[in-house]
Amino acid sequence: MNARIPSIAAGCIVSLALAGGALLAGGKQAAAPTQDIVDVAVSAGSFQTLVTAVKAAGLVDTLKGDGPFTVFAPTDEAFAKLPKGTLDSLLADKAALTKVLTYHVVPGKVMASDVVNLTSAKTVQGQSIRIDTSSGVKVDGASVIQADVVASNGVIHVIDSVILPN
């Protein structure tokens, strides 16, 4: 698989927000989202690499489960920033891939209003991610480019880089 998958235009982030139950005109909340985290990611179109990796790691059923989960979701463009060969190596090593993917997931539903009060959060993988809100929101150095994309079983925060555990 080529790590240089073309990114989708900003319109996909808008469609991701709409699919996740963003606010409607007039400030009224849309009906409760019916799509789970995986379905929201698939329908957005800008998470093809993430979805492929989730499938390769055997995590689809988990992320379609009850949750709630908070996923810091790297875009296709974020995966393209990885050094050449890194993605292919991860896809070939299920244990390493699972470690990286579960490092992007925090148990519970952590909304942006919660994140701004945190300096770290423990991931499903077991290690904690660093949260910096001094200039926007960064998670282990990756910028949150879209927050609070609500799914039926949690929330997605879109990030611009893949974060890697120690």
In contact, 23 and 29? CB cutoff 8 Å:
yes
Give the per-residue pLDDT at 33.
82
Residue 107 belongs to some domain of the structure: yes
In a domain, 2, yes or no: no
Position 59 in a domain:
yes
Position 40 in a domain: yes
What CATH number does the domain containing 122 carry? 2.30.180.10
CB 46 within 8 A of CB 16: yes
Q: What is the structure's pLDDT at 116?
A: 83
pLDDT at 97: 98
Provide the domain limits for residue 55. Answer: 11-159
Question: How many independent structural domains does the chain possess?
Answer: 1
| Residue 63 located in a structural domain | yes
* 44: its two tokens: 């957005």
Q: How many residues does the chain have?
A: 166
pTM above 0.85, yes or no: no
Per the domain annotation, does 1 fall within a domain?
no
Interval 91-107: pLDDT, tens: 999 999 999 999 999 99
Could you tell me if residue 164 is inside a domain?
A: no
| Residue 2 confidence (pLDDT) | 35
Residues of the chain with pLDDT under 50: 1-29
pLDDT of residue 31: 62
Integer Cα distance of 39 and 162 in angstroms? 20
**Is 166 within the bounds of a domain?**
no
